[in-house]
Amino acid sequence: MAPAALAQAQTGSQAQASGDDLTAYVRARAADADGSADVAAIGYAAALDDIPGDQVIAYRAYRQGLAAGDYRLAARASAALTKAGIAPADTTIIDVAVALDARDALAAHAALKRMEGGPLDFMAPVIGAWMAFERGEDPFRLLDPDHGNALERRYAAEHRALLLIASGRADEGLAALRPLLTAGDDSGDLRIDAALLLAAGGRDADARALLGTSEPGLDALRGRIATVKPGARFGAARMFVSLAAQIGGEEMEPLSIVLTRSAMLLDPADDRARLHLAEALSRSGSARLALAALAEVKPGSPFARGAAAGSIAVLRRDGKGQEAIALARTLATRGDTTAADLRTYGDLLFDAGRFADSADAYSDAIGRAGGDGGWRLHFLRGKALERAGKWKPAVAALNRAISLAPDEPEPLSYLGTAQLARGVDPAGALVLLERARTLKPDDAEITAALAWGYYKSGDAARAVPLLEVAAETDPAGSQISEHLGDAYWQLGRRFEARYAWAAAALHAESGAATARIEAKIANGPAAAN
């Protein structure tokens, strides 16, 4: 439902509802605001009973029902919204899933037809093809490789390969898979889905070869193979999880939730869907439900490690840093700990201000990674050492990161800025920062750091244009505006200096910073020193 339509409907609903009718709704809204989607869903269900035609209540019941995993409520609310002609496009996803789960072919066909007429139409050919396969019809006629946009063609190609394997034409399916698996680095889910179908069809050797050395391997997936039943439920669930994975980092939590809940309805054993669901719930403020979803991943699941990492991320996002550190420590001290586990532990320690411990964790991660560990681990270790006051080893670690990745701006910028702050080799610091800005000219922090280096070296005229650019790119950057004011003042541009300092004071990060800037506004930089 569009915001304007929602506001209009809400005005109407408030006019029609009595005080008693609104009690459940008000309680549901309070739970909704508190991130308690399961409690909110109960309240919205009661409110929908009281006012069954209310569009706002139906919309909220739909969203919170999905978040809480109340499929009955979500389907009921979706039906009400569809009847009113204001259903969000993603109601077609849950409607397809509910119909397939109930083996209601007519309802599934109707939901698919609605999907074809909306923005999610690229999914319809794939789901329709799996439905045709289940009916014993030719599924491939619906997967035209030359039809539709790039997204539709991508999913059609992937599912054509999966359908070939499911149809007993494994060699053709593998041939169709090869160009898809070499096209990018995001083909892990497709490998797993194809391997499950291959193994279910008795082609273990091909399944092992397809998975290679990736995690999880075929033996870890053995429990999942027994649940694989090629058909419309399997195919639609795979489509939903694949799209959820693709949009996971794009701030599309409501769509991610409906996709993953629908996938789990059709394939309750798929823990990948749980991982994506938990991420979406966490990002939408439902930390408790996210942790509950992850707790459903059994210790023996091939995705148990991912669930543990997901729990750490949920706790961290929910502001429970100490709980996150405790869980990360458990992972970091197990016999099968990985470099990724140790890096996560180091990140949390860094955020908590335990910089020396953080550096040790990064050092362990480098050792666990094998080889040199990669530039980023050396960079993170160097940052932690610098913040811990261990300058010499910090410089060594940062220089190692630079030597491993000379075209990465982060270590160049960090080392250059740190040298300026300590007054160590200012000329060398400028060289580092100039290289960093060449690599990333639009980065406000790098631009500001270079400009501050010019200012510190006595070249305010060269600093001002760069600081002005940085201030425009990041107008809320208090330090950038303060440095711009300092540079203006040195050039005798007193009015502009005070204006820049005033802007810096608006976004100062502490009372001490505010006092320092206000002193500059009143009496110039000398008064603040």
User: Do 288 and 167 lie in a common domain?
Assistant: yes
Number of domains in the chain: 3
Looking at 386, 405, 424, which one is the last position of a domain? 405
Residues 6+ apart with CB under 8 A from 33: none
- Domain assignment of residue 35, yes or no: yes
Other CB atoms within a 10 A radius of the CB of residue 208 amount to 15
User: Do 346 and 211 lie in a common domain?
Assistant: no
User: Do 129 and 53 lie in a common domain?
Assistant: no
**Nearest partner of 364 among 389, 381, 376, judged by Cα:** 381
User: Do 203 and 73 lie in a common domain?
Assistant: no
- Domain assignment of residue 443, yes or no: no
- Domain assignment of residue 480, yes or no: no
Tell me the one-letter amino acid at 224. Answer: R
Q: What is the pLDDT of residue 507?
A: 85
Q: What tokens were used for 17?
A: 């509802």
Say whether the peptide bond before residue 216 is cis (omega within 30 degrees of 0). yes
- Domain assignment of residue 241, yes or no: yes
Other CB atoms within a 10 A radius of the CB of residue 323 amount to 15
| CA–CA gap between residue 516 and residue 519 (Å, rounded) | 5
Looking at 87, 117, 143, which one is the last position of a domain? 87
105 Cα distance to chain centroid: 35
**Nearest partner of 123 among 232, 198, 257, judged by Cα:** 232
- Domain assignment of residue 193, yes or no: yes
**Nearest partner of 290 among 260, 265, 268, judged by Cα:** 260
User: Do 151 and 4 lie in a common domain?
Assistant: no
Look at the alpha carbons of 476, 482, 483, 485 in this order and tell me if their dihedral is positive or negative. positive
Look at the alpha carbons of 464, 465, 469, 472 in this order and tell me if their dihedral is positive or negative. positive
The residue count for the chain: 529
User: Do 130 and 78 lie in a common domain?
Assistant: no
User: Do 398 and 350 lie in a common domain?
Assistant: yes
User: Do 214 and 234 lie in a common domain?
Assistant: yes
Q: What is the residue-level pLDDT of the chain in tens, covering all 529 positions?
A: 444 444 444 444 443 444 445 666 666 666 666 666 677 677 777 777 777 778 888 888 899 889 989 999 999 999 999 998 999 999 999 999 999 999 999 999 999 999 999 999 999 999 999 999 999 999 999 998 777 788 889 999 999 999 999 999 999 999 999 998 875 556 789 999 999 999 999 999 999 998 887 778 888 888 888 889 999 999 999 999 999 999 987 789 999 999 999 999 999 999 999 999 999 999 999 999 999 999 999 998 999 999 999 999 999 999 999 999 999 999 999 888 999 999 999 999 999 999 999 999 999 999 998 778 899 999 999 999 999 999 999 999 999 999 999 999 999 999 999 999 999 999 999 999 999 999 999 898 899 899 999 988 889 999 999 988 888 887 777 888 888 999 999 899 999 999 999 988 888 888 888 999 999 998 888 755 4
Contact 62, 91 (CB under 8 A): yes
Which of helix, strand or coil describes residue 2? coil
283 Cα distance to chain centroid: 8
DSSP assignment of 188-214 equals HHHHHHHHHHHHHTT-HHHHHHHHTT-
CB-based contacts of 241-244 (< 8 A; 24+ apart in sequence): 241/189, 241/270, 241/272, 241/273, 241/276, 242/155, 242/158, 242/189, 242/190, 243/123, 244/273, 244/276, 244/277, 244/280
Confidence (pTM)? 0.81
| CA–CA gap between residue 511 and residue 518 (Å, rounded) | 10
Q: What is the pLDDT of residue 271?
A: 95
- Domain assignment of residue 12, yes or no: yes
Q: What tokens were used for 52?
A: 């069954």
Q: What is the pLDDT of residue 320?
A: 95
- Domain assignment of residue 101, yes or no: yes
Which of helix, strand or coil describes residue 456? helix
Give exposure, 141-171, as e/b (b: 16+ Cβ within 10 Å).
ebbeeeebeeebbbbbbbbbbbbbbbbeebe
| Measured CA distances, 201 to 48, 129, 211, 302 (Å) | 47, 20, 16, 21
| CA–CA gap between residue 481 and residue 42 (Å, rounded) | 50
- Domain assignment of residue 460, yes or no: no
- CATH classification of the domain holding 391: 1.25.40.10
User: Do 80 and 211 lie in a common domain?
Assistant: no
Looking at 70, 87, 104, which one is the last position of a domain? 87
Farthest CA pair distance, the chain: 85
Q: What is the pLDDT of residue 99?
A: 97
Other CB atoms within a 10 A radius of the CB of residue 95 amount to 24
Q: What is the pLDDT of residue 218?
A: 84
Q: What is the pLDDT of residue 283?
A: 94
| CA–CA gap between residue 145 and residue 131 (Å, rounded) | 18
Contact 273, 241 (CB under 8 A): yes
User: Do 297 and 330 lie in a common domain?
Assistant: no
Helix (H) or strand (E) segment spanning residue 33: helix 19-33
Full residue range of the structural domain in which residue 81 is found = 1-87
User: Do 131 and 260 lie in a common domain?
Assistant: yes
| CA–CA gap between residue 218 and residue 207 (Å, rounded) | 7
User: Do 98 and 44 lie in a common domain?
Assistant: no
